[in-house]
Amino acid sequence: MPPSFRYEREHPEPAVGVDEAGRGPLAGPVVAAAVILDRRRVPHGIDDSKKLCAVARESLYGRITRVAGWGVGIVDVEEIDRLNIYHATMLAMSRAVDALGVEPGMVLVDGNALPKWRHPARAIVSGDALCRSIAAASIVAKVTRDRMMIEHDATYPGYGWRQNKGYGTAEHREALGRLGITPLHRRSFRPVAQLCLAL
């Protein structure tokens, strides 16, 4: 079953869906998106971004951002290392909702934790598979971050970021050992931290 508007209907409008991309990688930012869908103009095919191929995500990103209200929050590597990835993710979500420029009736967040903010909010486990606004946010966050990592791949070639988007694949780990650490690597993450200690 594709995600539905069940959760949006249970709360005051506007209902905002929020999701993030990039909690687990060894390199690059964490990105969150907040989306308000117009239920009269919903692009067909919205689903959890993990269930979609890159071409489908790109197509849906364009269609979502043309007809929906949306905002993006980005937390860079320095902030991730200073705050830790949990708090960095919460900050990215807060920035994404702030970027909407609209006071939400309810914020629907993927997962089991909520940022400490003034907004009424509800955490939904597997929300990207259940709630259409969260699924739309998952697509916007994923495509935004993927595009950033593809650009960074040109600046720091050899790590395979165009393909692995900064995740700790065998190719990426091998390149870390061979090429060393870049400014975009998360020094608070164990494989990178261990390499820092070895230098």
User: Which string of DSSP letters, residue by residue, matches the chain?
Assistant: ---BSHHHHTSPSSEEEEEEE-SS-SBS-EEEEEEE--TTSPPTT---GGGS-HHHHHHHHHHHHHHSEEEEEEE-HHHHHHH-HHHHHHHHHHHHHHHH-S--SEEEEESS---S-SS-EEEETTHHHHBHHHHHHHHHHHHHHHHHHHHHHHHSTTS-HHHHTT---HHHHHHHHHH---TTB-TTSHHHHHHHHH-
The pair phi, psi for residue 185, each rounded to 5°, is -85, 140
Q: What is the pLDDT at residue 121?
A: 98
pLDDT along the chain (199 residues), means of 10: 94 97 98 96 96 98 98 98 98 98 97 96 98 98 98 98 97 94 95 76
Q: What is the pLDDT at residue 26?
A: 97
Q: Quick check: 172 and 160 in contact, CB under 8 A?
A: yes
197 CB contacts (<8 Å, ≥6 apart)? Answer: none
Whole-model pTM: value is 0.96
**Distance separating the N- and C-terminal Cα atoms of the chain:** 50
Domains of the chain: 6-198 (3.30.420.10)
Element (H, E) at 33: strand 30-36
Q: What is the pLDDT at residue 195?
A: 80
